Amino acid sequence: MCQLLGMNCNYPTDICFSFQGFAARGGRTDNHQDGWGIAFFEGTGCRLFLDNRPSIYSPIADLVLRYPIHATHVIAHIRRASVGPVAIENCHPFQRELWGRYWVFAHNGDVPGLHAGDCRFYKPVGQTDSERAFCLILDALRTAFPAGGATVREVHAVLKEITQSIAAHGIFNYLLSDGNFFFAHSSNNLCYVVRQSPFSSAHLIDQDLSVDFQALARPTDRVSIIATAPLTDNETWTPMKPGELLAFENGVPLKF
């Protein structure tokens, strides 16, 4: 299956350290070699990088590692193709507009049985079941709140309902954000770590690389990293429960 990486924080920061370990899984330490992508929210804008080559061989991935883009919401994905050929249109994250904002989505798992004809307003461009699921989610949000303006609690309630419907078809781990809201859903495999004061050092599992966040972060900084599997071997990662849908805000998960 594919793997997911997300970041939500209370102050714009870069994801270079986590991405270095994550990108290694795209063909070096794991077999997710069928493309990759990453999206950074900056204000109302969104930088989206996609490549259908393995991340370990991608010059675009090298650019992301060398160019520290600071953002409060980041979603990344490395693909192991199961539905749809290896092609740029099938690389995650996918992006669409809703309520005058960009929405970005990445999925890990398989949800067979979803049909493009079920989508009303949004249509998939590629062939993946993941993109069809994204279109169905945005259809549900647009139908529930035609003019937008919904709170994170209201969006969470509608999202939970459509997520349960889609997850009934299979495995539906995903990350979703519009640069304001950040949601993570686990069917069977998603975890997170919250980095905040007092900061310590972290060591990557997939690279022999450590960073001392105490020397880099401000006392008020708070960052949540969400991933399919832990990226570090000396931090406490919290596994999400099956069927759990979390909203993250300012670097912490919200409780509804």
Q: What is the pLDDT of residue 69?
A: 96
Q: What is the pLDDT of residue 2?
A: 87
Cβ contact 118:134 at 8 Å: no
Cβ contact 225:195 at 8 Å: yes
Secondary structure class of 196 (helix, strand, coil)? strand
255 contacts: CB under 8 Å, gap ≥ 6: none
Question: Which runs of E-coded beta strand occur in the chain?
Answer: 3-13, 36-42, 45-51, 71-78, 94-98, 101-108, 173-177, 182-186, 191-196, 201-203, 210-212, 222-227, 238-239, 244-249, 252-253
pLDDT in tens, the chain (256 residues): 789 999 999 999 999 999 999 999 998 888 888 899 999 999 999 999 999 999 999 999 999 999 999 999 999 999 887 877 789 999 999 999 999 999 999 999 999 888 767 788 999 999 999 999 999 999 999 999 999 999 999 999 999 999 999 999 999 999 999 999 999 999 999 999 999 999 999 999 999 999 999 888 899 999 999 999 999 999 999 999 999 999 999 999 998 8
Q: What is the pLDDT of residue 5?
A: 98
Q: Which residues are catalytic?
A: 2
Write down the pTM of the prediction.
0.96
Q: Which pair of structure tokens corresponds to residue 112?
A: 């067979």
Q: What is the pLDDT of residue 116?
A: 65
Q: Write the CA distances from 166 to 61, 90, 170, 173, 187, integer angstroms.
A: 31, 19, 8, 11, 11
Q: What is the pLDDT of residue 149?
A: 93
CA distance 41 to 248: 15
Q: Is the domain defined by 3-253 classed in CATH 1.10.3720.10?
A: no
CA distance 169 to 189: 16
Domains of the chain by residue range: 3-253
Angle between helices 129-144 and 152-167 (to 10 degrees): 140
Cβ contact 98:84 at 8 Å: no
Please give the angle made by the CA atoms of 182, 186 and 188, to the nearest 5 degrees.
160
Q: What DSSP assignment string belongs to 76-116? A: EEE---SSS-S-GGGPSPEEEEETTEEEEEEEES--TT--G
Q: What is the pLDDT of residue 178?
A: 97
Cα first-last separation, the chain: 30
| 36 burial type by CB count under 10 A (0-12 exposed, 13-18 middle, 19+ buried) | buried
